């Protein structure tokens, strides 16, 4: 008996597996071409023909694009050969937009007054105005250490101009060496501005300038100490006040503030406080046109819900939505009818809590109506008057259905498309299994997927590989029908059962569920994942709990390495691509949000670099040399620590690549890595594969 065969038998892999590993590779490489084509009647992209009750939607039938026009009033569907009007999707968000990007440090361009007679522009760090061909300085106190931004807006009556003054901070740059440029022999040095945790930030103070006199209304800078971000000032309807949002450094306090053009006083309209962090990415604000009320979303009761505020008093009127569900978005506020249209997940007990449904409710918190009651993950486009909607819904196991509904009660007026997946099933496609098991606390359900190979044999033993991306930015397990989940299915074809699960530290369940991540990104929900995989293996004995691998990219790369550093008794091998392995080395917005500010010992405790000495399992590190998302030095510092600790590992550097799982070369290296370490067989020579 050969050594390879003996190893295969002791790990539960048959000799036949070793013989046919080349065939498994061919399936893994070729499965995309089998599954990546579009399903007939399944690829539905809806576009509203603005100002009417007509919808364009496009389909790909395997031969070419087909466009259809729905007339909701007439309940008719017309098939077109082309889309002459090039329709565009109406934005999800209705009403005034919040300015989430930082106010640009703009030093050129100009802004035109509402009457078209005046231009405001920046010159020598001050605002200047041009009127009737004459130019004059509007402000005179700006300099290079505290200058005005030209970016701003006039009040509707043209009396005032609102902008910010900026105290610039030193810029932090990350440098990249492009070793193998296409147009020259010598390497190229690149750099980009890249703020990291603890860096100083530009300091912004909202100001209002009176156009006639140049009087500057500037609040005390003490009000904005330790700021992370101040959003752009937004004029109120009375032309006397601007509102803006203030995010305190450390993200524990967040306020909506108002600045008076008459008095220069600042008052608080809305305040959020939390001893861990405010997830400001979840907050949405709509200033109602009556000038008296603000619609606001907040996680203050443990889930994201809608609140109504008295704009003039700066007081809460009521919580509009409440209960054990999570508001995902607001599509429209009908002030005249007193109705909010919103999407949410988790309202239906016994279902996947991440499935998105669409609802409407009165501003008084009464009259909740589900407009999309069929089980599934829904995606909706409304007419502008909300009279009709087109709804496409599916799950990972059930193909899409697209229907025309009434905006009044959600009644289906017409079924437009039902996906036909018989051709997909004919080539051997099998849906992943939705699997639910308890997490670390023994009571909270964790939802995930189990993907088996297309030639699955329940009498065999299969190693398990987990694909991971964990973090509070989102939830990551697919909820809509996707015929080819390449990051699961390709790996499964090699002879693995591949899983993915949303565990604690991810979003859209409860604040408590997510806040496990706080100062603790190394956790990655790994204790929940281990409990979930053990439960799956107990139900399905063909899942080999003694051979579990893990892989991921970016935050998932950090998670994958953390899995073998802190849970090496369970995870036997890890592939970590472009990981943010030390949160002090990664981008400021992600890491100060979850790891807090100022920098403290928790950053060290969570660092894969500082804890590299723990490694006892096979590891493959991958990095793109031009990764402009996560500083590639983060991976190289792990390499340095592992070498100094005398640890054995593999490193794959992809020249010219940016933020990547490894591209086609890295995919092949990942296949070989897990085949060797979990299947216990030698991968085929690359030259033997086509």
DSSP 619-632: EEEEEETT-SSS-T
Q: For 264-315, write each residue's pLDDT tens digit.
A: 999 999 999 999 999 999 999 999 999 999 999 999 999 999 999 999 999 9
Report the pLDDT averaged over residues 184-209. 96
pLDDT (0 to 100) of residue 425? 84
Residue 88 has pLDDT above 60, yes or no: no
Q: What tens digit of pLDDT does each residue of 387-445 get?
A: 999 999 999 999 999 999 999 999 999 999 998 888 888 888 889 999 999 999 999 99
Q: What is the pLDDT of residue 549?
A: 98
Is there a contact between 437 and 446 (Cβ–Cβ < 8 Å)? Answer: yes
Task: Identify which of 519, 598, 586, 584 has the alpha carbon closest to the alpha carbon of residue 250.
Answer: 598
- Predicted pLDDT at 67: 81
DSSP 109: -
Mean of the pLDDT values across residues 554-561? Answer: 98
Task: State the average pLDDT over residues 100-116.
Answer: 60
Tokens describing residue 320: 């509009």
CB contact at 8 A, 505 and 555: no
Burial 629-655 (b: 16+ CB within 10 A, else e): bbbbbbbbbbbebbeeeebebeebbbe
- pLDDT-above-90 percentage for the chain: 79
In this model, does residue 82 exceed pLDDT 80?
no
In order of their start, the domains of the chain are: 3-30+433-685 (3.40.50.1820), 106-178 (no CATH)
Task: Give the pLDDT score at 3.
Answer: 28
What are the tokens at 364?
Answer: 């008084």
Averaged pLDDT, 494-523: 97
The pLDDT of residue 47:
73
Q: How far is CA 243 from CA 240, 261, 471, 672, in A?
A: 10, 11, 32, 57
Q: Based on the number of CB atoms within 10 Å of its own CB, is 600 exposed (0-12), middle (13-18) or buried (19 or more)?
A: exposed
Run of H or E including 588:
helix 588-595
Query: Where does the pLDDT of residue 64 fall: very low under 50, low under 70, confident under 90, or very high at 90 and above?
Result: low
Judge contact between 180 and 233, C-beta under 8 A: no
pLDDT of 639 reads 98
- pLDDT band at residue 319 under the 50/70/90 scheme: very high
């Amino acid at each position: 008996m050969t050594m390879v065969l003996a190893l295969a038998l002791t790990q539960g892999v048959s000799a036949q597996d070793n013989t046919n590993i080349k065939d498994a590779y061919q399936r893994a490489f070729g499965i995309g071409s089998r599954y990546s084509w579009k399903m007939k009647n399944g690829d539905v992209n809806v576009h509203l023909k603005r100002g009417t009750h007509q919808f364009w939607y496009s389909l790909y039938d395997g031969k070419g694009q087909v466009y259809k026009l729905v007339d909701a009033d007439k309940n008719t569907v017309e098939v077109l050969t082309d889309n002459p009007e090039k329709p565009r999707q109406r934005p999800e968000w209705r009403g005034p937009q919040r300015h989430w990007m930082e106010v640009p440090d703009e030093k050129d361009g100009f802004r035109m007054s509402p009457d078209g007679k005046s231009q405001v522009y920046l010159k020598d760090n001050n605002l200047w105005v041009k009127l009737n061909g004459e130019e004059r300085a509007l402000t005179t106190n700006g300099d290079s250490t505290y200058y005005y931004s030209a970016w701003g807006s006039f009040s509707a009556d043209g009396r005032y101009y609102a902008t910010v003054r900026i105290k610039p901070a030193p810029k932090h740059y990350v440098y990249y060496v492009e070793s193998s440029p296409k147009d020259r022999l010598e390497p190229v040095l690149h750099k980009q501005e890249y703020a990291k945790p603890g860096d100083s930030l530009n300091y912004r103070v909202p100001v209002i300038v009176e156009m006639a006199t140049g009087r500057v209304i500037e609040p005390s800078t003490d009000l904005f100490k330790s700021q992370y971000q101040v959003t752009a000032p937004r004029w109120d309807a009375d032309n006397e006040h601007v509102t803006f949002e203030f995010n305190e450094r450390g993200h524990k306090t967040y306020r909506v503030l108002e600045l008076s053009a008459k008095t220069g006083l600042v008052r608080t309209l809305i305040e959020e406080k939390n001893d861990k962090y405010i997830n400001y990415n979840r907050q949405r604000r709509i200033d109602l046109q009556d000038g008296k009320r603000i619609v606001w979303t907040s996680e203050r009761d443990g889930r994201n819900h809608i609140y109504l505020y008295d704009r003039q008093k700066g007081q809460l009127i009521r919580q509009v939505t409440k209960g054990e569900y999570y508001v995902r978005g607001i599509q429209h506020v009908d002030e005249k009818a007193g109705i909010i249209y919103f999407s949410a997940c988790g309202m239906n007990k016994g279902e996947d809590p991440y499935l998105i449904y669409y609802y409407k409710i009165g501003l008084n918190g009464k009259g909740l109506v589900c407009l999309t009651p069929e089980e599934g993950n829904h995606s909706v486009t409304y007419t502008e008057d909300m009279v009709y909607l087109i709804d496409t819904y599916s799950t990972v196991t059930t193909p899409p259905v697209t229907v025309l509904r009434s905006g009044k009660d959600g009644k289906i007026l017409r079924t437009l498309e039902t996906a036909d997946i018989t051709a997909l099933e004919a080539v051997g496609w099998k849906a992943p299994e939705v699997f639910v098991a308890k997490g670390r606390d023994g009571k909270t359900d964790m939802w995930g997927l189990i993907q088996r190979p297309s030639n699955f044999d329940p009498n065999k033993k299969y190693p398990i590989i987990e694909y991971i991306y964990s973090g509070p930015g989102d939830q990551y397990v697919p909820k809509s029908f996707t015929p080819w989940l390449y990051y699961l299915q390709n790996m499964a074809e090699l002879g693995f059962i591949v899983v993915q699960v949303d565990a604690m530290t991810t979003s859209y369940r409860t604040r408590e569920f997510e806040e496990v991540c706080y100062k603790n990104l190394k956790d990655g929900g790994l204790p929940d994942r281990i409990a979930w995989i053990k439960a799956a293996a107990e139900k399905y004995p063909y899942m080999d709990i003694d051979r579990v691998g893990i892989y991921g990219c970016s935050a998932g790369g950090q998670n994958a390495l953390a899995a073998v550093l802190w849970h090496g008794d369970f995870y036997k091998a890890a592939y970590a691509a472009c990981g943010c392995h030390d949160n002090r080395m990664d981008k400021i917005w992600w890491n100060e949000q979850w790891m807090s500010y100022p920098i403290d010992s928790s950053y060290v405790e969570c660092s894969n670099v500082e804890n590299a000495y723990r490694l006892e399992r096979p590891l493959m590190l991958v990095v793109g040399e031009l990764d402009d998302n996560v500083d590639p030095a983060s991976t190289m510092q792990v390499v340095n620590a592992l070498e100094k600790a005398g640890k054995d590992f593999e490193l794959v550097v992809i020249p010219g690549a940016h933020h990547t799982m490894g591209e086609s070369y890295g995919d092949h290296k990942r296949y070989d890595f897990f085949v060797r370490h979990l299947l216990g067989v030698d991968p085929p020579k690359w030259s033997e594969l086509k």
